[in-house]
Amino acid sequence: MRAITVPEPGGPDALVWTEVPDPAPGSGEVLVDVRASAVNRADLLQRQGHYPPPPGAPAYPGLECSGVVSAIGPDVTGWQVGQEVCALLAGGGYAERVAVPAGQLLPVPAGVDPVDAAALPEVACTVWSNVVRLAGLRAGETLLVHGGGSGIGTFAIQLGAALGATVLTTARSAKHDRLRELGATQVIDYREQDFVDEVRGATDGRGADVILDIMGASYLGRNVAALATGGRLAVIGLQGGRKGELDLGALLTKRATVTATSLRSRPLDEKAAIVRGVRDEVWPLVEAGKVRPIVDRRMPMAEAAAAHELVERSHHLGKVLLTTG
């Protein structure tokens, strides 16, 4: 089979579409013939040598895929050869085939294009596990989503709105109209506006109940300032740095919480529990049309370098997919 390899860390040109050995499903695994994978920020970091896959994971980038089950390993039940699926991966999505732990498989939701389904697993698991399971977003609360034009952002906006929350988001001005269509009540241009002031203004000074943050250190102080009393800040990315100063006094006064999680390195049982939660609570919203995959464009897997360049410039909205066919 063919896969995208990274012989040496570097820029987009470090990605090489080449022949590699076929994977085989081990115990508890299913082999999937990949139709598409999606480009995530973690893939860019892996290409640069900053985010290696966890032990035992395929060396190729790709944290999610859609495709068709082509073989089933020992000790697997509930899946059939020929079934259309999508999957959360620890790596290996940039390939024609990938072996997937059965607990990380999801059926393609009814009404979703089987290729576009590749845009769902990583964002659905990340957003649901942080915004719903960890931060406990409830109907009537206010959710602030940073990076609203990203794959994570476009999904979080839709999910928050579907759950009955008021959704605010930050994004470049060119993306504002589309994000309002997805359910954002207010879109803040982070280059021209102070999101703390805008959030306070939109909530009569109360602040956001939940903030989903991809920036990390550079936004830490302002995120705490933008939280409501009892607010919950969920940090899932470090695009603005790893180390920041946290005003514990402000946190105490607001009786607020700060959490930081990653998904890729979790144990298999934790990932499987998150996938089950997504299937039970999010897939019905997808099948009802309240949440949908947002795909900026599809590109051939062999053009992964160009796809990485596009995502690095943040000129896309939603997901960029890499297809094998």
Per-residue pLDDT of the chain (325 residues; tens, 9 = 90+): 999 999 999 999 999 999 999 999 999 999 999 999 999 999 999 999 999 999 989 999 999 999 999 999 999 999 999 999 999 999 999 999 999 999 999 999 999 999 999 999 999 999 999 999 999 999 999 999 999 999 999 999 999 999 999 999 999 999 999 999 999 999 999 999 999 999 999 999 999 999 999 999 999 999 999 999 999 999 999 998 999 999 999 999 999 999 999 999 999 999 999 999 999 999 999 999 999 999 999 999 999 999 999 999 998 999 999 999 8
CA dist 315 and 322 (Å) reads 16
Name the strand (E) or helix (H) holding 257.
strand 257-260
pTM of the model: 0.96
Dihedral (C-alpha) 65, 147, 183, 189: value to the nearest 10 degrees?
-150
Question: CB of 99 within 8 A of CB of 133?
Answer: no
Superfamily designation of domain 2-120+264-323: Medium-chain alcohol dehydrogenases, catalytic domain (3.90.180.10)
CA dist 322 and 325 (Å) reads 9
**In the prediction, which pLDDT does 196 show?**
97
Task: Name the architecture of domain 124-260.
Answer: 3-Layer(aba) Sandwich (3.40)
What residue ranges do the domains of the chain occupy?
2-120+264-323, 124-260
**Do the domains spanning 2-120+264-323 and 124-260 agree at the CATH topology level?**
no
